Amino acid sequence: MTTTRKKLLLPNTMARPGWDLANSRKDVEAIAFSPTMPTPEFRALLRDVDGIALTSTPFRAADIEAAPRLRAVGRIGVGYDAVDVPALTGRGIPLMTCDTDNSPTVAECVMFMMLTLCKRGPGKDALVRQGRWSTRYDELPTELLGKTVLIIGFGRIGTRVAKRCLAMEMKVEVYDPYVPAQAVRAAGCEPVADLDAALPGADYVTLHCPRTPETVNLFDAARLARMKLQARLVNTARGGLVDEAALYAALEAGKLAGAGIDVFSPEPPLTDNPLFTLSNVVVSPHMAGNTRESLDRKSLTVTRNLLCVLDGDTPKREYVVNPEFVGLGSDKLPGKL
């Protein structure tokens, strides 16, 4: 008697541990695909797969329709802007993320950007390399000690950023309308109910919310103008939360001290982006959540999640984006990463 093998479609960029797990199962056939392959070729592969892991590949209703056997979808990360969740739910297909696998990684990147900005890392490096030792007091660095950081979004990542900022002896304020004030205070932080009222007192603002209709251009020219001249803005969440043209104008005019940007709109950004001309801006290519360690963790989590569903088991509540599918309730709170 022969048993039909479960077919998993996995990105060829996925870390080795996930591949090893899939290949260790004799009842599983793991098929590689390129996240940038043409749509017709991608949909041809979808025809007879039972589960798929996604990186940045969009997964729309037409893609789901092209996969009649599909039973499980996993995201190697936590964001799912490019996935048609209602279409999956309509088919009874769970979408699962990697929950906390990359949140420590992003939190570390936030601290890296904050420290790079306040310690003027690139400028000091250039000063030594260019033989400008005698000018080292012209632009003194600053400290995080005693400064106020405003964290927007108190989910998986925001809570970890808070712990690290508290360890640096900073005052931590939190704006998140979906988290009770007592939960914020229990974490040693101060809740703020009015974002605009809190901005003038913040030395650092760091964003940890998803891109939704209500958060697009959350930081536009008017909101940036509320920040103090010495303040610095960090965005490792999603492109589109910050109006890049308004941010450039504020930085170039000296109305903001600096910015750390890991995400852009569009991505990849155009190489003539004016932000790249400013010395008080630190940029990175949407890599805040990616390290050797986090990629290994995520590859294992996404593969385990897919196999869990294909084996007929119920995935853990914390991984499922559309929990109504598995009867876990639909009380997942929006507004945080």
Does residue 318 have an active-site annotation?
Answer: no
- Is-catalytic flag, 238? yes
Catalytic residue among 267, 293, 318, 324: 267
- 166, 171, 172, 177: CA torsion to nearest 10: 160
How far is it, in rounded angstroms, from Cα 41 to Cα 329?
Answer: 36
- Which residue out of 211, 238, 244, 297 is catalytically annotated? 238
Q: Which helix (H) or strand (E) holds 233?
A: strand 232-235
Report CA dihedral (69, 47, 80, 23) to the nearest 10 degrees. Answer: 80
Q: Is 208 a catalytic residue?
A: no
The pair of structure tokens assigned to 134 is: 């005698």
Catalytic residue among 43, 91, 223, 286: 286
**288: number of CA atoms within 13 Å, CB side?**
32
Tokens at 64, concatenated: 């789901």
Say if CB 14 and CB 76 are below 8 A apart.
yes
Contact 46, 67 (CB under 8 A): yes
> How many whole angstroms separate alpha carbon 100 and alpha carbon 130?
42
For 286, residues 6+ apart whose C-beta sits below 8 A from its C-beta are 239, 262, 263, 264, 267
Residues 6+ apart with CB under 8 A from 26: none
Q: Which region, left, alpha or beta, applies to residue 312 given φ > 0 means left and ψ of -120 to 50 means alpha?
A: left
Q: Which residues are known catalytic residues? A: 238, 267, 286
